[in-house]
């Protein structure tokens, strides 16, 4: 009996060691090949075109940048052609741009990152609960560490359906994704952990309106878009909006509806590839000595936005409105944000602030293509598995772990039988 227990213990140790080895090997890209075979822009461009041909994509706009300058752009459409000035709804990528505008209010002295958010609010307050709402701050809302457990996720309102007010949406979002409560409240100790919260950015939207005295879309236009020259960008789309809106598609290739949102800051930015290139470049020194932040926010505050504020499994993953995808050579971060909504809209930006290299992708009709290609760009460029590529590699990782466990178990049984015969 003692020998059997020793065998079992040995097997469990070997299985745990194998799982750990495979897990860390996956983190380091050992089981993944780069999307492009050669380290050239043309090779990556050809690999991208091949991915586009392998699935339905409604509309697609891509820019690859080198040293802050556009190296090339690629466009694809199933219907009406798109170009660098075509406007896309970009889903949660909106949060990164919204955060830029919120940090400007901090810089202007109208907000304190670490003051209780409730002190700025008049129209709506977080409902009382088990935890201290006074610990909910702008910093924690921006970094998804405020303890909000809404899980939002907004599905939007169909054409012809009235859009909720901000206060109504915060109390209970009628357009919450399926299976999501939709109530913005503090369900965890603020500052204790990372929990992604669309509702937190809707609360920040209200905060901007309270502090600036303007509708959120108006504030962002005057404080961010106009100074950066982002002439096609808006948080509210109507018949007076500049530019042409990209068509929406379902995964089966049929045309989809254009949904509207109360949660502008969280998910309702409309922008073009050309405008996002300007936003991208605002995080770098300009060719004509323009400062980082373009005098909207200081270089120090641009850098602060990519300082780690939230972790998962011990890995830094979030700054202030900014996803931290992978470490750079000098221990900064490749940054940006992704967006995903239904019907399929998928958007992604990756920016290396040390080199000025990056990628911007806007697309409709495919739920994950932009995220996949952007993360593949990081791996192709740096050899690192970024924050969003790792979950895509998990199915293969689990298969490898399972195969190893099978070999360990069978090998142990065979060894035991042979030992017994001897």
What does the pLDDT profile of the chain (422 residues) look like in tens digits? 666 777 788 888 888 999 999 989 998 899 899 999 999 999 999 999 999 999 999 999 999 999 999 999 999 999 999 999 999 999 999 999 999 999 999 999 999 999 999 999 999 999 999 999 999 999 999 999 999 999 999 999 999 999 999 999 999 999 999 888 899 999 999 999 999 999 999 999 999 999 999 999 999 999 999 999 999 999 999 888 888 999 999 999 999 999 999 999 999 999 999 999 999 999 999 988 899 999 999 999 999 999 999 999 889 999 999 999 999 999 999 999 999 999 999 999 999 999 999 999 999 999 999 999 999 999 999 999 999 998 999 999 999 999 999 998 888 888 777 877 76
* The pLDDT of residue 2: 67
Q: Which residues pair with 246 in a beta bridge?
A: none
Fold that domain 59-383 belongs to in CATH: Beta-lactamase (3.40.710)
- Residues sharing a CB contact under 8 Å with residue 240, sequence separation 6 or more, in sequence order: none
* The pLDDT of residue 28: 87
Show the CA angle centred on residue 268, arms to residues 342 and 325, nearest 5°: 80
* The pLDDT of residue 145: 98
- Residues sharing a CB contact under 8 Å with residue 256, sequence separation 6 or more, in sequence order: 248, 249, 250, 343, 344, 364
6 CB neighbour count, 10 Å cutoff: 10
Angle between the 198-212 and 94-107 helix axes, to the nearest 10 degrees? 40
CA atoms within 13 A on the CB side of 210: 18
* The pLDDT of residue 421: 76
DSSP string, 147-173: -B-----B--B-TTSPPPPHHHHHH--
* The pLDDT of residue 417: 79
Cα(349)–Cα(337) distance, integer angstroms: 6
């Amino acid at each position: 009996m003692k020998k059997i227990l020793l065998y079992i213990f040995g097997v469990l140790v070997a299985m745990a060691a194998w799982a750990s080895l495979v897990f860390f090997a996956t983190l380091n890209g050992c089981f993944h090949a780069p999307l492009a075979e050669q380290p050239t822009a043309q090779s990556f461009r050809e690999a991208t075109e091949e991915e586009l041909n392998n699935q339905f994509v409604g509309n697609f706009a891509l820019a690859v940048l080198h040293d802050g300058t556009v190296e090339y752009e690629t466009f694809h459409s199933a219907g009406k052609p798109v170009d660098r000035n075509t406007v896309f709804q970009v889903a949660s990528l909106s949060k990164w741009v919204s955060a830029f505008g919120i940090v400007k209010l901090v810089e202007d002295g109208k907000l304190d990152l670490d003051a209780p958010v409730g002190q700025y609010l008049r129209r709506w307050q977080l409902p009382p609960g088990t935890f201290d709402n006074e610990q909910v701050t702008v910093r924690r809302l921006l970094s998804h560490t405020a303890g909000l457990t809404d899980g939002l996720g907004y599905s939007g309102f169909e054409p012809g359906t009235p859009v909720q007010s901000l206060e109504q949406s915060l109390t209970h979002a009628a357009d919450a994704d399926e299976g999501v409560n939709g109530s913005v409240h503090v369900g965890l100790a603020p500052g204790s952990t990372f929990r992604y919260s669309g509702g937190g950015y809707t609360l920040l939207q209200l905060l901007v309106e309270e502090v600036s005295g303007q509708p959120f879309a108006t504030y962002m236009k005057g404080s961010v878009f106009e100074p950066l020259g982002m002439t096609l960008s808006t948080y509210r789309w109507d018949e007076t909006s500049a530019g042409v809106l990209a068509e929406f598609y379902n995964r089966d290739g049929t045309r989809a509806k254009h949904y509207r949102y109360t949660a502008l800051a969280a998910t309702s930015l409309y922008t073009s590839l050309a405008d996002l290139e300007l936003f991208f470049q605002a995080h770098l020194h300009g060719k004509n000595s323009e400062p980082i932040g373009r005098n909207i926010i200081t270089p120090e505050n641009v850098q602060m936005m990519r300082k780690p504020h939230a972790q998962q499994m011990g890995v830094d993953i979030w700054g202030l409105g900014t996803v931290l995808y992978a470490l750079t050579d000098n221990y900064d971060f490749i940054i940006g944000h992704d967006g995903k909504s239904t019907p399929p809209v998928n958007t992604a930006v990756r920016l290396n602030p040390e080199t000025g290299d990056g990628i911007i992708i806007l697309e409709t009709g495919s739920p994950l293509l932009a995220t996949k290609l952007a993360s593949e760009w990081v791996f192709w460029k740096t050899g690192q598995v970024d924050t969003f590529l790792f979950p895509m590699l998990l199915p293969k990782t689990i298969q490898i772990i399972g195969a190893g466990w099978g070999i360990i178990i069978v090998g142990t049984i065979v060894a035991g039988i042979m030992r017994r015969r001897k």
